[in-house]
Amino acid sequence: MTKRYYKNSLKFNVLKRIQQIPGNVILRKDIKDMGSSRQVSRSLKDLVKMGELIKIGYGIYTKAYVSEYINKPIIKGGFDQACKEALTRRSIKWEPGSAEQAYNSGRSTQVPVRIIVYLKSRFRGRLSYGNRKLIVEKGINAR
């Protein structure tokens, strides 16, 4: 699904910068200086169509690869890791949910299936991909 772009096009430059960013989460502010907001939106939308990126929230994208089995884009590192990295990149204080803490400390043998976090600072956004979404513990956002 890699499409060729002219080396002086905005999409090529955006894709090149995205590949240079460490980690798997791309925030809109990382590339907003490359053109007008409309140009940036259009290039991000095209990269999502190509399967290079996946949008998981407002202004939050993740790097993706196309699976050879189902021929659909998949998040590099998984959705759980992408959510945690996105919260960290947005400077939101969080800690793992009680189920994950119990598993990590050895108090429980049940492996947590869903990503549940406890927020320590305010975040009103939503992170989701397909039928998966970030769940805030106790349904309460930070005060």
Query: Mean pLDDT per segment of 10 residues, for the chain of length 143 residues?
Result: 66 91 94 92 93 95 94 93 95 93 94 90 90 85 60
The residues with which 39 forms a beta bridge, in sequence order, are none
pLDDT value, residue 1? 47
pTM: 0.86
Does residue 68 contact residue 39 with C-beta atoms inside 8 Å?
no
Does residue 142 contact residue 123 with C-beta atoms inside 8 Å?
yes
DSSP 24: S
Hey, how many other C-beta atoms are within 10 angstroms of the C-beta on 2? 9
Question: What gap in Å lies between CA 51 and CA 93, rounded to an integer?
Answer: 30
The residues with which 127 forms a beta bridge, in sequence order, are none
Total residue length of the chain:
143
pLDDT value, residue 143? 55
User: Residue type at 79?
Assistant: F
Does residue 63 contact residue 99 with C-beta atoms inside 8 Å?
no
Tokens of 117: 């976090």
Q: Coil, strand or helix: which one is 75?
A: strand
